[in-house]
Amino acid sequence: MGMLDKIIQKLGFDDDETEIGETQPIKKEDNKIQPIVPTNNRSPKVVPIHQNQQFKMVVLQPSNLEDAKEICDYLKDKKPVVVNIDLEGMQLEMPQRILDFLSGCVYALDGSIETVTKGIYVVVPSNVDISNHIK
């Protein structure tokens, strides 16, 4: 047995009954492609690599708690909101109630809130990071 025969035998191409150089008839098999069906009844998730979604920011001036709920709805939709709380145009306790409501919403949604100036706040959902470099 030569070196080439040993290599062919190690690779598994050598049948005991077949000699090198012999030809055997090729059997035609029905090679239909079978679809792969997920066994867990869920379709595989396809995530696009390039998303051309435009980033949208909402600017609101709430005057009551209904407006604060609207801000929280924007946060649930993953949209950042700039909030202008008019401290002079409202009752004394309403701005504090709105801020308390927004703080609870931000906490529940793992977002964050930053003060820009007196009465102006940036409220963002968890997918947006605020980098504040103002001292």
Asked, for residue 81, whether it belongs to a domain, the answer is yes
Asked, for residue 112, whether it belongs to a domain, the answer is yes
Above pLDDT 90, what percent of the chain?
23
Q: Which domain holds residue 106?
A: 58-124
| Tokens matching residue 52 | 């051309």
Asked, for residue 118, whether it belongs to a domain, the answer is yes
Asked, for residue 94, whether it belongs to a domain, the answer is yes
DSSP state for residue 36 in the 8-state scheme: P
- Does the pTM surpass 0.85? The reply is no
Q: How far apart are CA 123 and CA 57, in angstroms?
A: 10
Using an 8 Å Cβ cutoff, are 61 and 85 in contact?
yes
Beta strands in 1-135 (DSSP E): 58-60, 81-84, 112-117, 120-124
Mean per-residue pLDDT, 101-126: 90
| Better-scored residue on pLDDT, 79 or 28 | 79
Number of domains in the chain: 1
Express each pLDDT in 59-90 by its tens digit.
888 888 898 999 999 999 889 999 998 777 77
Asked, for residue 63, whether it belongs to a domain, the answer is yes
